[in-house]
C-alpha cells in the first residue's frame, strides 16, 4: 500500500525519533565502562549494539518512507482527525494527578484526574457542555471509585498510598 | 505415580477456602477484564502486582492465573457481541462469531466459545501436568549458551513473526531492550542511562511500561481518535447449542487444542498464529463452507477459541520450566515471581514444588469456575458493556495510578507513565507492535547476563555457541525463523506470477 505524502511525512518523523533515540543511546554508551573480564564484552556492549541496530532500523524506515511509505501498514482504525482539546483534558488530569498526589492525597488527586479525563473523553464524542451538575456528578463518581480503591489498598493490603490526613481514610 | 501425588498435593493446597476464594476473584475479575474493552489481562495483572507485597505467594499466583485465564473466556463475549476483540487471540473469534450474532445465533456462538475454552483449557492443563516436569528435567541440562539462544529465538519470533513488518517489529524489540538497559547492570553493578535520576537506578518497572503502553495509550487513543465511533451491540439469544451445533463444535475444539498448545509452549509468542491456523483449517474441513464469511460458521468460533485457550495454557510451560515468557501476560507473571525473589526455571519444580503444583491444580479448578461464570451468568457480563466509554477509561486511569504508584511510591513514575502512554499512541498509529517492547524489556537484561556468562565459559570465544549441539540447533532455528517466511513468500509470489503468465 502506498501512503499519502502527509502520511509519509509523519512516518519520516517516526524514523527521525528512532534515530534520535539511537543517538542518545550512543552518547550514553560512551560513559559506560568497557571492562570486559573473561567474557570479552563489558557492560557497554549491549548499549552500543542496541544503539547501532536502532540507527539501522531508522535508516531502513527512512528508505521505506522514500519508496512509498512503511511496508504492510494496516489502515488506521479510525480516519477521524485528532481531537486535541480532549487530549489536553486527559493529559492535564494525568499530569495534575502526578504532581498533586503526595500533597492532596490519593482520593482527591485521583478524583481530579477522573473529572478531567471524563470531561475530555465525553467532549470527544458529544458537543461540550459545562453545567455545574455534570461536574458534581463526575466528581462524586470519581470519588466513589477512588475512595474504595484507596481503602482496599491501604487498609486491606497495607500498601502505602498518600492520604490528605493521617487517618488512612481520606 | 509421583506425578499423581504431586498433583493431588497441589489440589490440597489450591483447594483451601482462602485459595479457592482468590481463584474465584481472579476468574471473575479476569472475565470482567476480558469483557471490558481497553483493558486486557496483562494490564490487569500489572495493575494488581503491588498486592505481591502483602498476599501469600501461592494465593497471588493462583489469583493472577485466574485473571489470565478468565480474560480469555471474557474476551470472546466482546468479540461476538460487539465485534471489538479485546485480545489479539479473540480477533478470529470476532470474524465468525459476530456474523453468527448478527444472524440471531449469539447464544450458540457464546456457548461454543465458553465450552470450547473449557475443553481446550482442561486438555492443555493435562498436557502441562504431563510435560512441564519432563521439560524441567531436560532444562536442568541447559547452560548459559543454550539459554541465550532460547532468548534469541524468543526475540526473533516475537519481532519477525508477529505484526505486519519485521522492520517495525525489530524497532519495537530494540526499544524494549533500550528500556531494559536503564538502571544497574546485573553483573558489574555499573549504572547505565539514569541521567542522574535516582528513581531510575532500579530501572523502569515493567508494570509501568505495560500499563502505559496498554491502558493509558488506550485512553489517549480513545480521546484522540475514537470519540465519534458508534458501536452497535448484537442482540443476545439463549445460550445453548443444538445437537447439530454440538456435532460441528467438538472436533473443532479438539483440533484447535492440538494446534494451540504447541504454539504456546515454544517461544514463538502469542496466540495469533494458532488461532488463524485453526480458522484456516476449520474453513478447509467444514461441510458448511458457505456459512464462513456470510451467516457465520460455528466451527470458525469453536476452533480458534480452543486454540486461543490452549496456547495461553501452553505459555506456562516455558514460563515455569525455563523462565522464558512467550506472551505479554506471561512476562508480567514473571515479574510477579521475581517480586517474591523467585526466578522461574528448571529448579522451580524442586525448590517451589508446592507453589507450582498448586498453580497447576488451580488451573483445573479455574476452568470449572469459568465455565459456570461464563455460561449461566453471561447476561451479567454483557451488562458491563453498558458502561459508557468516558467513565470506563477515566476509571481505568485511577486503577493505573494505584498500580504504578503502589509499586515504588514515586510520583516520578506517574509522569513516566503519561510519557509512555503517549509513546503507546504513536506506536499504535504507526502499526509498531507493542508486545516486542515488553518482551525486549523483560528478557533483555536476562539475555545480556546469559550472553556474558556464556562468553565467560568460552573465555571470550563467540564460537562457544557453535560448539554445543543444543545452542547450534537453536541458532539454526533462529535462522530458519528469519529466512523461511521470506523464502516461502518469494516462492509463493513466483508461483502466482508463473501461473498468471502461462497462456
pLDDT, position B391: 92
Highest mean pLDDT among A21-30, B72-81, B383-392: A21-30
User: Same domain, yes or no, for A59 and A89?
Assistant: no
Range of the domain at A112: 84-156
**Contact assignment for A70 to B168 by CB distance below 8 Å:** yes
For residues B412-438, give the mean pLDDT.
Answer: 92
Residue A52 lies in a domain: yes
The single residue listed with the C-alpha cell 454483557 is B382
3-state SS of chain A is: CCCCHHHHHHHHHHHHHHHHHHHHHHHHHHCCCCCCHHHCCCCCHHHHHHHHHHHHHHHHHHHHHHCCCCCCCCCCCCCCCCCHHHHHHHHHHHHHHHHHHHHHCHHHHHHHHHHHHHHHHHHHHCCCCCCHHHHHHHHHHHHHHHHHHHHHHHHHCCCCCCCCCCCCCC
- The residue of chain B with its CA nearest to that of A41 is B452
Highest mean pLDDT among A39-43, A100-104, B3-7, B38-42: A100-104
pLDDT, position B88: 65
> Average model confidence (pLDDT) for chain B?
86
User: Which residues have CB under 8 Å from B316's CB, separation 6+?
Assistant: B128, B132, B264, B330, B359, B360, B363
A positions 136-165 inside 8 Å of B (CB) = 141-142, 145-146, 149-150, 153, 157-162
pLDDT, position B37: 74
**Contact assignment for A161 to B405 by CB distance below 8 Å:** yes
A positions 27-66 inside 8 Å of B (CB) = 28, 32-33, 35-43, 45-47, 50, 53-54, 57-58, 60-61, 64
What is the rounded CA–CA span in Å between residue B435 and residue B498? 37
User: Same domain, yes or no, for A21 and A52?
Assistant: yes
Three-state DSSP state, B474: helix
Angle at the Cα of B275 from the Cα atoms of B271 and B277, rounded to 5 degrees: 120
Residues A22-79: tens digit of each pLDDT: 999 999 999 888 777 777 888 999 999 999 999 999 999 999 999 988 888 877 666 6
**Contact assignment for B178 to A71 by CB distance below 8 Å:** no
| The pLDDT of residue B500 is above 90 | no
Instruction: Say what angle helices B389-408 and B217-225 make with each other, to 10 degrees.
Output: 150
What is the rounded CA–CA span in Å between residue B380 and residue B252? 28
Residues B236-285: tens digit of each pLDDT: 667 778 899 999 999 999 999 999 998 888 765 567 778 888 998 998 88
For residues B333-347, give the mean pLDDT.
Answer: 84
Instruction: Say what angle helices A45-66 and A5-30 make with each other, to 10 degrees.
Output: 160
- The residue of chain A with its CA nearest to that of B222 is A121
B224 chain-A contacts, CB cut-off 8 A: 82-84, 86-87, 124
User: Which residues have CB under 8 Å from B180's CB, separation 6+?
Assistant: B203, B440, B441, B442, B443, B444, B445
Residue B461 has a CB neighbour count (10 Å cut-off) of: 13
Residue A53 lies in a domain: yes
Structure confidence at residue B346 as a pLDDT band (50, 70, 90): confident
What spatial distance separates the first Cα and last Cα of chain B, rounded to whole Å?
66
- Which carries the bigger pLDDT value, residue B180 or residue B94? B180
Residues B81-91: tens digit of each pLDDT: 876 665 666 77
pLDDT, position B496: 78
Cα–Cα distances (Å) from A161 to B48, B335, B404, in that order, read 14, 21, 11
**Which is it for strands B183-184 and B191-192: parallel, antiparallel or unpaired?**
antiparallel
Structure confidence at residue A166 as a pLDDT band (50, 70, 90): confident
For residues B43-49, give the mean pLDDT.
Answer: 83
| The pLDDT of residue B48 is above 90 | no
A86 chain-B contacts, CB cut-off 8 A: 223-224, 227
User: Same domain, yes or no, for A55 and A106?
Assistant: no
Residue A141 has a CB neighbour count (10 Å cut-off) of: 17
- The residue of chain B with its CA nearest to that of A157 is B54
Q: What is the DSSP letter of B476?
A: H
- Quick check: B401 contacting A, CB < 8 Å? yes
- As for the ipTM of the complex, it is 0.93
pLDDT, position B161: 65
For residues B352-376, give the mean pLDDT.
Answer: 89
For residues B449-471, give the mean pLDDT.
Answer: 92
Task: Tally the domains of chain A.
Answer: 2
Structure confidence at residue B182 as a pLDDT band (50, 70, 90): very high
What is the rounded CA–CA span in Å between residue A97 and residue B423? 19
| The pLDDT of residue B103 is above 60 | yes
pLDDT, position A61: 96
**Contact assignment for B187 to A43 by CB distance below 8 Å:** yes
| The pLDDT of residue B230 is above 80 | no
**Contact assignment for B394 to A25 by CB distance below 8 Å:** no
The single residue listed with the C-alpha cell 494490564 is B43
B positions 273-332 inside 8 Å of A (CB) = none
Residue A77 lies in a domain: no
The single residue listed with the C-alpha cell 466509554 is B389
| The pLDDT of residue A114 is above 90 | yes
Cβ atoms of B360 and B58 within 8 Å: the answer is no
Residue B289 has a CB neighbour count (10 Å cut-off) of: 12
Q: How many CA atoms lie within 13 A of B420 on its CB side?
A: 27
**Contact assignment for A125 to B448 by CB distance below 8 Å:** no
**For residue B191, what are the β-bridge partners?**
B184
Give the residue from A52, A73, A74, A121 with the most B CB atoms within 10 Å of its CB, the best one to mutate: A121
For residues B20-32, give the mean pLDDT.
Answer: 92
Cβ atoms of B70 and B78 within 8 Å: the answer is no
> Average model confidence (pLDDT) for chain A?
89
Would you say the C-alpha torsion B293, B298, B301, B306 has a positive or negative sign?
negative
For residues B432-443, give the mean pLDDT.
Answer: 86
Q: In terms of Cα–Cα distance, which of B165, B195, B173, B146 is closest to A50?
A: B173
* pTM of the predicted protein model: 0.85
pLDDT, position B282: 92
Residue A121 lies in a domain: yes
pLDDT, position B502: 67
| Complete DSSP assignment for B436-448 | HHHHHHHHHHHHH
**Contact assignment for A114 to B453 by CB distance below 8 Å:** no
Q: Which of A32-46, B129-143, B151-165, B450-464 has the lowest mean pLDDT?
A: B151-165
φ and ψ at residue B316, rounded to 5 degrees: -70, -25
A92–chain B nearest CA distance, Å: 10
pLDDT, position B124: 93
The single residue listed with the C-alpha cell 511496508 is A71
Residues B185-215: tens digit of each pLDDT: 888 888 899 988 888 888 888 888 988 998 8
Residue A76 lies in a domain: no
Cβ atoms of B277 and B256 within 8 Å: the answer is no
**Contact assignment for A86 to B227 by CB distance below 8 Å:** yes
**Contact assignment for A125 to B228 by CB distance below 8 Å:** yes
pLDDT, position B268: 56
Structure confidence at residue B163 as a pLDDT band (50, 70, 90): low
pLDDT, position A55: 97
> Where exactly are the structural domains of chain B?
2-467
B54 chain-A contacts, CB cut-off 8 A: 157-159
pLDDT, position B52: 80
What is the rounded CA–CA span in Å between residue B398 and residue B211? 12
B390 chain-A contacts, CB cut-off 8 A: 117-118, 121-122, 124-125
- For residue A51 the three cell numbers come to 544503539
Amino acid at each position: 500500500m502506498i501512503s499519502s505524502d502527509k502520511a509519509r511525512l509523519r512516518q519520516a518523523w517516526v524514523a527521525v525519533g528512532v534515530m534520535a533515540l539511537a543517538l542518545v543511546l550512543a552518547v550514553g554508551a560512551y560513559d559506560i565502562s568497557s571492562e570486559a573480564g573473561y567474557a570479552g564484552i563489558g557492560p557497554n556492549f549491549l548499549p552500543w549494539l542496541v544503539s547501532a541496530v536502532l540507527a539501522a532500523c531508522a535508516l531502513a524506515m527512512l528508505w521505506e518512507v522514500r519508496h512509498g511509505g512503511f511496508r504492510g501498514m494496516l489502515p488506521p482504525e479510525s480516519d477521524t482527525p485528532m481531537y486535541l482539546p480532549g487530549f489536553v483534558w486527559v493529559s492535564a488530569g494525568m499530569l495534575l494527578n502526578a504532581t498533586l498526589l503526595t500533597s492532596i492525597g490519593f482520593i482527591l488527586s485521583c478524583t481530579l484526574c477522573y473529572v478531567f479525563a471524563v470531561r475530555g473523553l465525553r467532549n470527544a464524542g458529544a458537543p461540550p457542555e459545562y453545567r455545574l451538575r455534570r461536574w458534581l456528578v463526575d466528581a462524586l463518581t470519581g470519588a466513589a471509585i477512588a475512595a474504595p480503591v484507596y481503602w482496599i489498598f491501604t487498609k486491606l493490603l497495607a500498601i502505602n498510598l498518600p492520604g490528605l490526613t493521617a487517618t488512612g481514610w481520606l | 505415580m509421583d506425578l499423581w501425588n504431586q498433583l493431588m498435593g497441589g489440589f490440597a493446597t489450591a483447594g483451601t477456602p482462602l485459595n479457592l476464594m482468590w481463584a474465584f476473584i481472579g476468574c471473575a475479575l479476569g472475565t470482567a477484564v476480558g469483557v471490558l474493552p481497553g483493558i486486557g489481562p496483562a494490564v490487569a495483572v500489572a495493575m494488581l502486582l503491588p498486592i505481591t507485597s502483602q498476599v501469600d505467594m501461592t494465593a497471588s499466583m493462583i489469583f493472577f492465573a485466574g485473571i489470565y485465564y478468565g480474560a480469555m473466556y471474557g474476551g470472546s463475549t466482546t468479540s461476538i457481541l460487539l465485534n471489538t476483540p479485546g485480545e489479539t487471540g479473540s480477533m478470529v473469534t470476532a470474524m465468525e462469531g459476530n456474523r453468527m450474532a448478527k444472524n440471531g445465533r449469539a447464544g450458540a456462538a457464546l456457548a461454543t466459545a465458553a465450552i470450547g475454552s473449557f475443553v481446550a483449557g482442561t486438555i492443555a492443563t493435562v498436557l502441562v501436568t504431563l510435560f512441564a516436569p519432563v521439560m524441567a528435567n531436560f532444562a536442568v541440562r541447559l547452560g548459559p549458551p543454550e539459554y541465550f539462544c532460547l532468548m534469541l529465538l524468543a526475540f526473533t519470533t516475537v519481532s519477525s513473526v508477529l505484526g505486519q513488518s519485521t522492520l517495525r517489529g525489530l524497532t519495537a524489540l530494540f526499544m524494549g531492550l533500550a528500556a531494559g538497559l536503564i538502571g544497574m547492570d546485573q553483573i558489574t553493578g555499573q549504572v547505565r542511562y539514569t541521567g542522574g535520576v535516582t528513581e531510575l537506578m532500579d530501572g523502569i518497572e515493567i508494570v509501568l511500561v505495560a500499563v502505559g503502553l496498554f491502558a493509558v495509550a488506550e485512553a489517549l487513543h480513545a480521546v484522540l481518535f475514537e470519540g465519534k465511533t458508534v458501536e452497535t451491540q448484537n442482540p443476545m439469544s439463549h445460550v445453548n447449542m443444538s445437537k447439530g451445533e454440538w456435532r460441528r463444535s467438538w472436533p473443532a475444539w479438539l483440533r484447535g487444542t492440538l494446534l494451540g498448545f504447541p504454539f504456546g509452549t515454544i517461544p514463538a509468542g502469542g496466540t495469533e498464529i494458532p488461532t488463524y491456523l485453526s480458522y484456516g483449517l476449520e474453513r478447509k474441513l467444514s461441510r458448511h463452507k458457505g456459512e464462513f464469511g456470510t451467516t457465520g460458521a460455528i466451527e470458525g468460533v469453536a476452533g480458534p477459541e480452543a486454540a486461543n485457550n490452549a496456547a495461553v495454557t501452553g505459555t506456562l510451560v516455558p514460563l515455569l520450566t525455563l523462565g522464558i515468557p512467550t506472551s505479554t501476560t506471561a512476562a508480567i507473571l514473571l515479574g510477579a515471581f521475581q517480586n517474591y525473589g523467585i526466578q522461574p526455571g528448571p529448579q522451580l519444580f524442586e525448590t517451589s514444588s508446592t507453589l507450582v503444583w498448586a498453580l497447576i491444580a488451580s488451573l483445573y479448578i479455574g476452568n470449572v469456575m469459568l465455565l459456570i461464570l461464563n455460561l449461566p451468568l453471561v447476561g451479567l457480563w454483557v451488562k458491563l458493556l453498558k458502561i459508557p466509554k468516558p467513565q470506563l477509561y477515566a476509571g481505568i486511569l485511577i486503577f493505573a495510578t494505584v498500580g504504578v504508584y503502589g509499586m515504588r511510591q514515586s510520583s516520578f513514575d506517574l509522569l513516566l507513565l503519561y510519557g509512555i502512554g503517549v509513546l503507546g499512541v504513536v506506536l499504535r498509529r504507526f502499526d509498531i507492535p507493542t508486545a516486542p517492547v515488553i518482551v525486549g524489556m523483560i528478557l533483555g537484561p536476562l539475555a545480556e547476563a546469559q550472553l556474558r556468562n556464556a562468553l565467560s565459559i568460552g573465555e571470550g570465544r563467540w564460537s562457544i555457541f557453535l560448539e554445543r549441539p543444543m545452542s547450534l540447533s537453536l541458532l539454526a532455528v533462529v535462522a530458519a525463523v528469519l529466512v523461511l517466511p521470506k523464502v516461502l513468500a518469494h516462492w509463493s509470489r513466483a508461483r502466482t506470477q508463473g501461473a498468471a503468465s502461462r497462456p
